[in-house]
Amino acid sequence: YLTDWLSESPTRVPPPYSTILPLFLAFTSALLAGMAYFTTRDEEPEWEPLLLFKLVEGIDIALVILSLLLATLVALFYFL
């Protein structure tokens, strides 16, 4: 059920899937967005519309920043 892990006096350490999995997913998405960023940097001269390249590049940078921010929030919330 949805409220299985909720209690009035929660422990300091939540279930493992709610601490390890978000960090893993955040770092994986940061890695994939970084790879996409460097792939678009390599393909820049071959792309005709420069606006599309800049759009993909900006989205990749935003995803890296967002992933690192979420990983920091999870680490601060669950481990400190």
Quick one: pLDDT at residue 33? 85
Is 10 a domain residue? Answer: no
Is 72 a domain residue? Answer: yes
C-alpha 53/C-alpha 65 separation (Å) is: 19
The total number of structural domains in the chain stands at 1
Residue range of the domain that includes 41: 16-79
pLDDT in tens, 31-80: 888 888 888 777 766 666 777 778 888 888 898 898 888 888 888 877 77
Quick one: pLDDT at residue 1? 54
Is 7 a domain residue? Answer: no
Quick one: pLDDT at residue 32? 87
C-alpha 67/C-alpha 29 separation (Å) is: 6
Quick one: pLDDT at residue 12? 60
pTM above 0.95, yes or no: no
